[in-house]
Amino acid sequence: MTRILFVCMGNICRSPIVESVARLEFARAGIDAEIASAGTENYHVGQRADERAIAIAEAHGYPLAAHRARQLQRADFERYDHVLVMDRVNLRAAQRVRPAQGGVAAELFLGHAGLGADDVPDPYYGTHADFEHVVELARDGVAAMIRCLAPPAGMGDRR
C-alpha cells in the first residue's frame, strides 16, 4: 500500500481537493493507497473544508463534505511514503516540521507528478474559476501519479 499526504497552508482548500480527487481516482485505478491531507498552519484545525472547495469538488463527483482540517505533524514524515506540498512557501514550512533524522522529504505535488515544479495556486481569495483550476490541476497531477504507480497491463494478480 502506498501512503500519500497532500499538504497546503490551512488544509481547507487545495490539499483537501487533491486528497478527494486522489482517493477516488486511485480507487478507480485499483491502486491500494492511503490518502490524507494536512496544513502547515493551525488556522483551521478541526474545521470543514472551505464551502467553495466542497461545492466544486462535489460538483465534479469528489466527496469532500466530511473533511476536517488538521495540521502537519513530524510523525507524518515517518507514516507516509510521499508528502506532497502544493507550493514552495508550504514546502519550506513542511521542511521545518520534518524530523532532522529520518522520514521522507517533502516534494512539490506537481513536480512529483512529473508535470513540472509549478505551484498549485491558492484559490482562497479567488473566484469560482480559481477553485475549478485547482480541480483541473488535481486531476492532471493525480492522473500522472496513477500512470507511475499502476502495475503494467497484464501484471496484476494471476491467481
| Residue 123 pLDDT > 70 | yes
- Interhelix angle for 14-28 vs 128-149, to 10°? 40
Please identify which of the residues 13, 14, 50, 119 carries the catalytic annotation: 14
Contacts of 133 (CB under 8 A, 6+ apart): 121, 123
The catalytically annotated residue of 76, 87, 119, 122 is 122
Active-site residue flag, 76:
no
Residue 127, Cβ density class (10 Å: 0-12 exposed, 13-18 middle, ≥19 buried)? exposed
* pLDDT, tens only, 35-44: 999 999 999 9
Confidence of residue 154 (pLDDT cuts 50, 70, 90): low
Helix, strand, coil in percent for the chain, rounding step 5 = 40, 15, 45
Q: Which CATH superfamily is domain 2-149 in?
A: Response regulator (3.40.50.2300)
Q: Is the pTM of this model over 0.85?
A: yes
The structural domains of the chain, with segments of one domain joined by +, span 2-149
34, 35, 41: which is closest to 6 by C-alpha?
35
